[in-house]
Chain A
Amino acid sequence: MVAPDFFSFLGLPRKLNIDHADLERRYRALSRQFHPDYFYNAPPAERRASLERSSYLNDAYRTLRNKMARIEYLLKLEAVPVAIGSSAVAPSSDSRAEAELLEAVFALNEELDEIRGERASGVPDHEWRARLERARAPIERKRARHEAAFEELSARWDALVDGGAGESERRQLLTKLRDRFLERKYIDNLVAGIERELAQ
């Protein structure tokens, strides 16, 4: 199957800001075109190909409609991997900022631990819940700042795509995106942890 990547498969430029209504329209049009039902009487090879295209289309749509998945996919496509590892692939451009984030994440994890301890030892609900809400505020602020950083970097990336920028400029921006992306994983994990506790 000829499908260089999700973006081109859907006829889109490799940009991060996506018009969702447009994406939806493209997805629906291609879905109809590749639908296995239309290939019911086709030779086996064509039937199989239509099935493959349909499943590729679904992957493409699911990936591109979600912002974080879109960024992760673009990084992979542009060979700026978000590989499993540790400090070796950790944010590279600003190690001081990374150390600060790690410290904040660590401190918040400790706080969560203590709150779990309070709950286990019978501290009244409203007390540990209030503490949990207080712990949540700074991390939510960080997440909001990250959101803004993604907006800004995405707009810059899209401008580079439009302007046909040089390789080094592209790399630089992609590396920044990758660093923010990795930091965001810590933040999301923490927020998920807090939400799990609050749901208790």
Chain B
Amino acid sequence: MAYSSKVIDHYENPRNVGSLPKDDPNVGTGLVGAPECGDVMKLQVRVNPATGVIDEAKFKTFGCGSAIASSSLATEWLKGRTVEEALAIKNLDIVNELSLPPVKIHCSVLAEDAIRAAIADYRKKRSAV
């Protein structure tokens, strides 16, 4: 199967690889996995509490090229968005942007789930404050 040039670009030059301090109250962490292929994806956002805007996003993914590209793209899109806007990102947007073939659609689902998990974690922390 041939990867699209955008997938290859994200795979070879992944954006925003790394991690943010998990215990920072403004950081939300999402850790999700796709059991069938064994992929695991960690995605983190840091939200500016004054504006509600995501000012930093990081990821680390162990999996195939499409999973890495999906999460790399997701972090690019997350920066500068509000939490609400972040939740509007749908896996199909990722599929279209990266031209993912049908067998790799679940990688984009994983990225969407990671975004939701990260934001849910952030909100849980804020409501606990």
**Chain A residues engaging chain B, CB cutoff 8 angstroms:** 82-91, 99, 102-103, 105-106, 109-110, 113, 182-183, 185-186, 188-190
Known A-B contacts A85-B109, A86-B106, A86-B109; the reply to A109 vs B33 at CB < 8 A is: no
Q: Assess whether A109 is in contact with B36, with CB atoms less than 8 Å apart.
A: no
Q: Return A186 CB to nearest CB of chain B, in Å.
A: 5
Q: Assess whether B38 is in contact with A189, with CB atoms less than 8 Å apart.
A: yes
Contact of A182 among B36, B40, B62 (CB under 8 A): B36
Could you give 28 example pairs across A and B, Cβ below 8 Å? Answer: A82-B35, A83-B36, A84-B34, A84-B36, A84-B106, A85-B36, A85-B106, A86-B32, A86-B33, A87-B33, A88-B109, A88-B113, A90-B33, A90-B35, A99-B31, A102-B40, A105-B33, A105-B40, A106-B40, A106-B42, A109-B40, A182-B36, A183-B35, A185-B35, A185-B36, A185-B38, A186-B33, A189-B37
Q: Which residues of B are found within 8 Å of A186, using beta-carbon distances?
A: 33, 35, 38, 40
Q: Return A90 CB to nearest CB of chain B, in Å.
A: 6
Number of B positions contacting A (CB below 8 A): 17
Give the complex CA separation of A144 and B37 in angstroms: 21
Q: Which residues of B are found within 8 Å of A84, using beta-carbon distances?
A: 34, 36-37, 106
Q: Return B26 CB to nearest CB of chain A, in Å.
A: 21
Q: Please name the 9 residue pairs, one residue from A and one from B, whose CB atoms are nearest each other, closest first.
A: A189-B38, A182-B35, A109-B62, A86-B110, A84-B106, A86-B34, A87-B113, A185-B35, A86-B113
Which of B31, B33, B34, B36: most chain A CB closer than 10 A? Answer: B33
Chain A interface, >50% SS class:
helix
Q: Assess whether B106 is in contact with A102, with CB atoms less than 8 Å apart.
A: no
Q: Assess whether B38 is in contact with A102, with CB atoms less than 8 Å apart.
A: no
Q: 11 extra interchain contacts, Cβ-Cβ under 8 A, other than A85-B36, A85-B106?
A: A91-B35, A102-B40, A105-B40, A106-B42, A109-B40, A109-B62, A182-B36, A183-B35, A186-B33, A186-B35, A190-B38
**Chain B residues engaging chain A, CB cutoff 8 angstroms:** 31-38, 40, 42, 60, 62, 106, 109-110, 113, 117
Q: Return B68 CB to nearest CB of chain A, in Å.
A: 12
Q: Which residues of B are found within 8 Å of A182, using beta-carbon distances?
A: 35-36
Give the complex CA separation of A94 and B87 in angstroms: 26
Q: Assess whether A87 is in contact with B40, with CB atoms less than 8 Å apart.
A: no
Q: Which residues of A are found within 8 Å of B37, using beta-carbon distances?
A: 84, 185, 189
Q: Assess whether B33 is in contact with A103, with CB atoms less than 8 Å apart.
A: no
Q: Return B99 CB to nearest CB of chain A, in Å.
A: 19
Q: For residue A181, which residue of chain B has the nearest CB?
A: B35
Q: Assess whether B62 is in contact with A106, with CB atoms less than 8 Å apart.
A: yes
Q: Which residues of B are found within 8 Å of A88, using beta-carbon distances?
A: 109, 113
Q: Return A13 CB to nearest CB of chain B, in Å.
A: 28
